[in-house]
Amino acid sequence: MNLPRPSIVLPCLLLCFGLNTHAGTLDDLERDATKPKSKSSGSSSSSSSSSGSYSSRSDGDGGIGADLAAGIAELVFKVTVEVVGFGITAMAKGGENSASRYEHSNSGFLASEDLPLPDVNNLTDRDLQISAPLFRKEGDPILPSVRLTSQWLQGSDNVSAQLNRFEAGYGLIGLSYSRNTLDEQGDTLTLENTLVHYRMSFGNDLSWDLAYGRGKMNGNQSHDGDVFAMPIRYRINPAWHFEYYPVWSSYNGGSLSEHQFSFNYHYKYTGVSIGHKRWSAGPTTVSGLFAGLYLSF
């Protein structure tokens, strides 16, 4: 029997090893982000058996347990209604505040001729110094009319990434388009999101958006999905603001999350950013530090 020569076996082994290890972190991220979540078949049977045993026990307890359960259910319902009502009211007020901020460009004082005559007759000189509580300076990065952002990340597992984002808005409504390009030694994965924003302001230094739209993932295959984002920006002082930008995407029943934290230095219409970003899908994660530049108008 003729045995293969070592000079032939070694290249074949190296080739097989290279094929097996070719799937990198980005391939795993794409696979896990588009993998439907499995449903446990045993959960329904166990829940039904437990509910059956519970019902038999509750029958023995008499009406006291039923009255207690009814009371708890009523309390939970009332609390839920109050919380939902408060949330809707706060969201409506936040949108109204964003619109109001565009009505004033500074926190200057209202002149007496801007007030109705009956009020002027009853006000002192100190009372006439009424400052507008909500205002927006041109170029404000917390509530931008137009903002262009670029970021560069060096992440784990030899993955680098670049983000380009365009934002536009007025008052409480905004739009955004973003493109993340992740690269792993020539293997690329792109994430594109187009979102509609409901922009809320809580004072002049805190903004919170609720954004929803469509996303596209391009890697080994192309996938379309739904995207929800919730960017929050807080102005620490006139020069610095903090940003938390979470994004959740759903592709083919799977899910991909992105969490970005950054500190941003702003001067007039330009700014620089430093922060940390993390993508995760199932057990696969990509994270790293990034630096960026932006223009805000």
* pLDDT score at 112: 41
Show the CA angle centred on residue 150, arms to residues 148 and 237, nearest 5°.
70
pLDDT > 70? residue 94: yes
Residue 160 class from Cβ within 10 Å (0-12 exposed, 13-18 middle, 19+ buried)?
middle
pLDDT > 60? residue 161: yes
Mean per-residue pLDDT, 91-96: 96
DSSP track, 23-67: --HHHHHHHHHTSPPP--SHHHHHHHHHHHHHHHHHHHHTHHHHH
* Chain centre to alpha carbon of residue 265: 21
Task: For tokens 């706060």, name the residue.
Answer: 90
Q: How many other CB atoms are there within 10 angstroms of residue 208's CB atom?
A: 19
Domains within the chain, CATH numbers bracketed? 146-296 (2.40.160.40)
Q: Is 168 helix (H, G, I), strand (E, B) or coil?
A: strand
Q: Which residue type occupies 164?
A: N
Q: Which residue type occupies 231?
A: P
Task: For tokens 């003729």, name the residue.
Answer: 2
The tokens of 171 are what? 């008052």
The tokens of 286 are what? 């990509």
pLDDT bin (cut points 50, 70, 90) of residue 86 is confident
* pLDDT score at 77: 81
**Torsion over CA: 244, 249, 254, 258 (sign):** negative
Mean per-residue pLDDT, 70-92: 85
* pLDDT score at 80: 81
Q: How many other CB atoms are there within 10 angstroms of residue 41's CB atom?
A: 7
Give percent helix, percent strand, percent coil of the chain, each to the nearest 5: 30, 40, 25
Mean per-residue pLDDT, 166-175: 98
* pLDDT score at 23: 59
For the CA atoms of the chain, what is the radius of gyration?
A: 28
Q: Which of 57-66, 70-79, 105-114, 237-246 has the highest mean pLDDT?
A: 237-246
